[in-house]
Chain A
Amino acid sequence: MPSIDLESEQGREEALRRMLTIRKFDTKVGEHFADGEIPGFVHLYVGEEAVGVGACAALEEDDYITSTHRGHGHCIAKGLDPNLMMAEVFGKREGYCNGKGGSMHIADMDANMLGANGIVGAGPPLGAGAALTINQKGEDRVALSFLGDGAVAQGQVHEAVNLASAWDLPLILLVENNQYGEGTPVSDQHNLEKLSDTAGAYDIPGIHVDGMDITAVNEAVAEAREHARNGKGPTFIEADTYRFHGHFEGDEELYRDEDEVEEWRKRDPITDFSERLIDRDELTEEKFEEMQAEIESEIEDAIAYAKDADEPVPEEAYDDMFSANVPDIERFVQQANARTDGGTHGGEF
């Protein structure tokens, strides 16, 4: 059973709902980032929703995923809670990583989500590792690694594909080709017209799909999943898509022009999918608007939740380094505390 069955009307509604949730979540994150309320950098997934949702819908809940620095969409597609995600993005202790990770590192082992990742190309080896566990333990599940077109240039990605191919690991590589690696066009980073041709070098299936079409992505991943479950090893999928925002919020976008962005915006994956549902009489304009309003208010709630949540207290910075306390860290903190005036390291150790 896929986690969301796109063959059923209910499943299609849920898929649309998740795409809209991603859209609203990231749009709001962009606004609050611009207001200076969110630290660090944020990379939004707006425009790419069909890839994340189409792919995760084809997975079962206990399948693993690894994500990228652009991970909010993958998290929502995999079913993570927007409240806890937002709290993490705001750096609060209620967040998925207790405020230690932030936007680029949201992870949830309960949802089999092995983390967004600040290192481009680091996900596929981890995905291969999850797939190794699956094989070793004789489990019936798969791992899927999302990666960007830019990440395909990373050596560790190729090592992971080769390993998965040599060992027939149940791994799916899903390249989100949004046409740019940061500010450099995909054509300047690769000499391959189709990144999915990479598959040929490893003698595994390569599939190229329209990443603005949720059904196309869903079918490709479903097929790859079957292939993996049958012990036939990895599949390399490339989905063509586009990010409607800059690489990160605040990006001046010196590298692309408005016309190009407008052209792609016309192919909005959410509009495309909702129109198809309306054509099939599964959705009405009013219902669609109602849904948008509902999700808008869910995301407003998530923002309120995040803002109300507690700041981590400074001493928590020393938690989570090891499974048990080690004296070394304590020692340095104590030394820093051995002073007359209290000061910044105020904790009890």
Chain B
Amino acid sequence: MASAELEGQETQTMTVREAIRETLREEMRRDEDVILLGEDIGVMQGVLDVTGDLYNEFGPDRVRDTPISEAGYMGAATGAAATGLRPVPELMFSDFIGVSMEQIMNQMAKMRYMFGGKIEMPVTVRATEGGGMGAASQHSGTVHTWIAHFPGLMAVTPGTPEAAKGLLRSAIRSDDPVFFFENKMIYEQSGEVPTDEDFTIPLGEASVEREGEDVTVVATQRLVGESLSVADELEGDTDVEVIDLRSLYPLDTDTIAESLDKTGRLVVADESPLSYGTQAEVVSRAVEDAFYSLDAPIQRVGVPDTHIPFSPSLEGEVLPDGDDVRNAIERIA
């Protein structure tokens, strides 16, 4: 499985975690206005070990340990971005976005527009998302739909190391606020990543990770890998095309519509709650742009409007996985 971006490129194998850390390192070396801020990202190297040794290389001024003040430092990142820095704040767990939401919604998202376009807002928020660790409701949420829904913010959700690298670099170099959502269950996933220090993936481009004729699965994050495995298992029976959506906003409707032209069947798989969710937006776009290509009811895979429970038997029940994707495919194939 080599996506279009990889053709003719020199590559290296790395995990999603390494891809993120290396991109941060390269961008910080390239541009001294890029600074990191967040809780325990420095001396402690990050609770999920993403920032790692960056503190040793760049020191406490550029890898800033913040107090436990999400509203404060998310707002400071907003103010700093408006005045000349390119901050990359980290939310240790995306659920903590609740604490900082005012600065995100009413300031970060609206300032450029309200100022008549007279400022830029080059801030990249990194946040870990998702269940699967038994971390219970307040440390397992998936909130990317909120951000993608909110005008003025961009949101990306890489499903592979390559996507992580290319999208994070685009996010940091972008003059707009971009949220970079890391599903914590794929940090260890490894794959080929281009070594070129200018390798980027445009914000707003989905990628066809596997071609197929019968059913299109549009997936995000962890569900990309799970969908690819399911597609392999179904080989011979059902020919599944798997698309890594990558960018929630902007959203690549063309790639989805093209795929539906071919398959006529759509499954959308994402870890957020089902009602009013990311899945719903993809479905709407498909209906708007590819209605006449559709041959079967569209299937949504996600969390059935619950929080993520603690006990593994309950958590496994509500979290969507490959089985749910397979069942959705089988319902319409």
Contacts and interface: CB of A to CB of B under 8 A. Distances in A.
Interface of A: 39-41, 91-93, 97, 99-102, 104-105, 117-121, 150-151, 153-156, 181-184, 188-190, 254-255, 311-318, 321, 328-329, 332-333, 336, 338-341, 343-345
B311 to A, nearest CB: 3
B324 A99 contact: no
A118 B45 contact: no
B99 A105 contact: no
Given A154-B99, A184-B39, A188-B65, A318 B306 contact: yes
A83 to B, nearest CB: 17
Contact of A344 (B39, B44, B68, B316): B316
Given A154-B99, A311-B313, A101 B136 contact: yes
Interface string B41-58: 011110100000000000
A254 B43 CA distance: 7
Nearest to A311: B313
B317 A329 contact: no
A100 B44 contact: no
B72 interface: yes
B330 A99 contact: no
Highest count of chain A CB atoms <10 Å: which of B304, B311, B312: B311
Contacts of B317: 314-315, 317, 344-345
User: A-B pairs with the 3 shortest C-beta distances?
Assistant: A39-B134, A183-B44, A118-B138
A341 B309 CA distance: 25
B258 interface: no
B139 interface: yes
A182 B139 contact: no
Interface string B294-316: 00000000101111011111111
A150 B39 CA distance: 10
B123 to A, nearest CB: 19
B310 A100 contact: yes
Contacts of A100: 136-137, 309-311, 314
B136 A104 contact: yes
Given A41-B135, A153-B69, A336 B310 contact: no
A101 B310 contact: yes
Contact of A119 (B43, B44, B99, B314): B99
Contact of A339 (B302, B318, B331): B331
Contacts of B119: none
B67 A181 contact: yes
A39 B331 contact: no
A27 B95 CA distance: 29
Contacts of A105: 136-138, 310
A51 B161 CA distance: 46
Nearest to A92: B311
B133 interface: yes
Contacts of B135: 40-41, 104
B11 interface: no
B185 to A, nearest CB: 14
B83 interface: no
A154 B327 contact: no
B323 A344 contact: yes
A91 B331 contact: no
Highest count of chain B CB atoms <10 Å: which of A183, A254, A328: A183
Contact of A118 (B67, B139, B275, B312): B139
